[in-house]
């Protein structure tokens, strides 16, 4: 049986910790194929990916990943449960039989996943709307501390999704070291014009030198326009605009001079900073619940990059019913409608096409 290993990543940006993680997978498990499902141009915490999806996919393939698949926006910019739901579903569609993820501590994830599945169903259904305190307390009641261990939370949700959906996928973990946590440090150093060459492969550093980096500062005027030009009723139709947040946005935008100020004014004990930032993304992009549901109901596999091993594996998948997308034409445009919509906003600043005419990066492919 082919050993198909898969993992989930954002690579925001790809750093030496990621390279170490990939090397450890190959050394410990010897996969026949290694697949990464990677967030596109927006990441889970409600931010623009620091480098575009094509650059990050290329760097991943150059550093040992055989195949990179895009995690659609509809899953990528969501709380851990729904982020995991989409990622694991795509890995399942790809025929992955071995999941691997990094973890801060060695835990019995299968046992913890069973506890989560047996927890209050109503709470699980309200997961998107739960406050940070409620979510933390809920997990603590199950004997799980997620307050400072983000990878633990994602890992638990990955394993829970496998169990709930009865996917035939084994779970493997790689112990994360403190030195692995460098994505935030890279972004901090770059913002302060401090060298970070010791933290990233040369390809990542070169991408920073050649690519226009976008941040919320670039898009605050667009966000402000969306909030001011739409009525309260219109704002209310945006995805996850609940509990009067549209009134709060209307009020606070008037006294906010930049994105950071707006988030600070809107946040409360009820909502995590990430939750508010995700809401800002939905507002900027005018995303509706129907847009999200359309992606959930019509899954696809968008290929961003592969090597020769990945190509051979893709050829074996073409015989199945999996919808593989390597380029955007008329047929694919409807299915990728939301992704094209959200990528277009990046192009406003970078002027780099993200969909039409783009093909996957191919390394050493004959």
Q: What is the pLDDT of residues 342-354, one digit of tens each?
A: 999 999 999 999 9
Q: Is 18 annotated as contributing to ligand binding? A: yes
Is 10 annotated as contributing to ligand binding?
yes
Closest CA to 34 of 304, 303, 366, 313: 313
- Residue whose pair of structure tokens reads 């623009």 in the numeric block: 48
Q: Is 57 annotated as a binding residue?
A: no
Query: Looking at residue 221, what is its pLDDT?
Result: 96
Known binding residue 151? Answer is yes
- Tell whether residue 138 is among the known ligand binding residues: no
Residue 15 annotated as part of some ligand binding site: yes
To the question of whether residue 176 is assigned a binding role by annotation, the answer is yes
332/327 Cα distance (integer angstroms): 8
* Whole-structure pTM value: 0.91
Number of C-alpha atoms within 13 angstroms, CB side, residue 100?
23
> Sorting pLDDT into bands at 50, 70 and 90, what band is 125?
very low
Residue 11, annotated as binding a ligand: yes
286 is an annotated ligand-binding site residue: no
Distance CA 51, CA 208 (A): 7
pLDDT at 82: 93
Q: Is 102 annotated as a binding residue?
A: yes
- In order of their start, the domains of the chain are 4-211+294-363 (3.40.50.620), 216-291 (no CATH)
Kindly report, residue by residue over 252-285, the tens digit of the pLDDT. 999 999 999 999 999 887 788 889 999 999 999 9
Residue 336 pLDDT exceeds 80? yes
Tell me if 17 is assigned to a ligand binding site: yes
Please check the confidence at residue 310 and state whether its pLDDT lies above 90: yes
| 98-103 and 42-43 beta bridge pairing | unpaired
The percent of residues above 90 in pLDDT, for the chain, comes to 67
Do residues 269 and 291 make contact, with C-beta atoms less than 8 angstroms apart?
A: no
| Strands 47-48 and 42-43, bridge-based pairing | antiparallel
Q: Is 13 annotated as a binding residue?
A: yes
Q: List, in sequence order, every residue forming a beta bridge with 174; answer none if it has no partner.
A: 102
Q: Give the mean model confidence (pLDDT) for residues 97-107.
A: 84
Who has greater pLDDT, 283 or 105?
A: 283
pLDDT score recorded for residue 222: 97
Opening angle at CA 150, ends 148 and 151, nearest 5: 130
Q: Is 14 annotated as a binding residue?
A: yes
Output the average pLDDT for the chain: 88
Q: Are 238 and 97 in contact (CB under 8 A)?
A: no
Is residue 16 a known part of a binding site? yes
């Amino acid at each position: 049986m082919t050993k198909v290993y898969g993992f989930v990543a954002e690579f925001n940006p790809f750093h030496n910790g990621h390279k170490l993680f990939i090397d450890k997978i190959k050394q410990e498990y010897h996969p026949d194929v290694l697949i990464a499902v990677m967030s596109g141009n927006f990441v889970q915490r409600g931010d623009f990916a620091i480098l575009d999806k094509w650059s990050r996919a290329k760097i991943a393939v150059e550093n040992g990943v055989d195949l990179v698949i895009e995690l659609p926006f509809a899953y990528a910019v969501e709380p851990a449960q729904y982020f995991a739901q989409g990622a694991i579903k795509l890995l399942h569609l790809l025929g992955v039989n071995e999941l691997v993820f990094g973890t801060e501590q060695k835990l019995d994830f299968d046992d913890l996943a069973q506890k989560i599945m047996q927890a209050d169903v109503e709470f699980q259904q309200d997961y998107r709307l739960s406050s940070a305190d409620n979510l933390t307390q809920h997990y603590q009641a199950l004997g799980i501390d997620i307050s400072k261990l983000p990878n633990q939370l994602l890992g638990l949700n990955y394993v829970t999704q496998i169990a709930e959906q009865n996917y035939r996928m084994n779970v493997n973990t790689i112990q994360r070291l403190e030195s692995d946590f460098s994505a935030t440090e890279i972004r901090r150093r770059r913002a302060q014009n401090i060298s970070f060459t010791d933290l990233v492969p040369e390809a990542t550093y070169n991408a920073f030198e050649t690519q226009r980096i976008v941040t919320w500062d670039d898009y605050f005027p667009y966000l402000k326009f969306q909030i001011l030009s739409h009525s309260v009723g219109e704002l209310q139709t945006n995805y996850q605009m609940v509990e009067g947040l549209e009134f709060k946005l209307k009020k606070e935008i008037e006294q906010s001079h930049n994105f950071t100020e707006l988030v600070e004014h809107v946040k409360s004990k009820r909502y995590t900073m990430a939750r508010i930032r995700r809401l800002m993304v939905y507002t900027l992009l005018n995303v509706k619940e129907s847009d999200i549901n359309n992606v959930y109901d019509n899954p696809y596999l968008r290929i961003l990059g592969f090597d020769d091993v990945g190509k051979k594996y893709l050829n074996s998948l073409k015989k199945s019913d999996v919808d593989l997308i390597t380029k955007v034409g008329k047929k694919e445009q409807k299915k990728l409608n939301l992704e094209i919509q959200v990528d277009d906003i990046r192009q406003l600043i970078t002027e780099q096409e993200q969909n039409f005419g783009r093909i996957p990066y191919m390394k050493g492919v004959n």
